[in-house]
Amino acid sequence: MARSALLQVMTQAATKAGRVLARDFGEVQHLQVSMKGPADFVSSADRKAEEVVFKELSRVRPDWGFLMEERGAIEGRDPQHRWIVDPLDGTTNFLHGLPMFSVSIALERDGEIVAAVVFNPAMDEMYTAEKGGGAYLNDRRIRVASRKTLPEALFGTGIPFLGMGDHAGFLYELRQIMGETAGVRRYGAASLDLAFVAAGRLDGFWERALNPWDIAAGVLLIKEAGGIVTGLEGESFDHIRGDIACGNEFIHKALIGQLKQASTKRRAARRAGESRETGEVDPNAPA
């Protein structure tokens, strides 16, 4: 496949950062690790990889800004362009010796993602996409899966962990979807989950409140692979807000329907609970 000059720069930056991660992977017990928050770790490998990406991209486009997991937002002199970077998505996997982590780089132009790279150095898999140019795994064109019904579909998701997310709400969604499908997987790296949807390995994916650097690149991969990406109620997707549901045309529609059913059941349970507390009978509560 022919890559544009910009995409070539992005893949080179991801490859160099991946080498840094690969050198430390397998020796995670020797890393200097600090705590950012509950179950949210940052390693020396994470910081080194981010430095590599920052230097590589700044060298070729010094006027462009950044949005990075560790450094945050960095304003550039060119307000139209911004790099969105996660140097190590799947940090907890990395620190536990699980080979499910990636370097994720997206280029945002006037608020729209126009180029994307997701690289898993442990598996030597480079996912790339440019707006209007299709999506690729290494040099092979990829497409979303063609399955049309939930019973044959495999989904990915993210599970809320210690101190993060709406645990009760997620359990309603999980119960609803796992009861209708071939299965649900949780790999622990959203950028790879989305890349797997683009490559047809997963039929769909949903999660709430992801960060822009987790999903910006993966969303373009899915769109260029023929998939649909929206918010959790089918609304227009916003990579800054971070609520996401995706799949092919048929699976995406079915997924949105299941999420709405889960939300309806949770509201009914809440009403039933409130009625029990007040001694009232809720006629809409399930028997």
Question: Side chain identity at 187, as an amino acid letter?
Answer: Y
Q: Is 89 labelled a binding residue?
A: yes
Q: Is 173 labelled a binding residue?
A: no
C-alpha 88/C-alpha 53 separation (Å) is 11
C-alpha 192/C-alpha 169 separation (Å) is 24
Secondary structure (3-state) at 40: strand
Q: Is 86 labelled a binding residue?
A: yes
Question: Side chain identity at 184, as an amino acid letter?
Answer: V
Q: Is 274 labelled a binding residue?
A: no
Secondary structure (3-state) at 81: strand
Q: Is 139 labelled a binding residue?
A: no
* Spatial contact of 121 and 21, defined as CB atoms under 8 Å apart: yes
Whole-angstrom CA distances from 256 to 52, 98, 158 are 39, 31, 16
Q: What share of the chain is helix, strand, coil (3-state, %, to 5)?
A: 40, 25, 35
Paired residues of 130 in beta bridges:
115
User: Which positions make up the binding site for Mg(2+)?
Assistant: 69, 86, 88-89, 214
User: Which positions make up the binding site?
Assistant: 69, 86, 88-89, 214
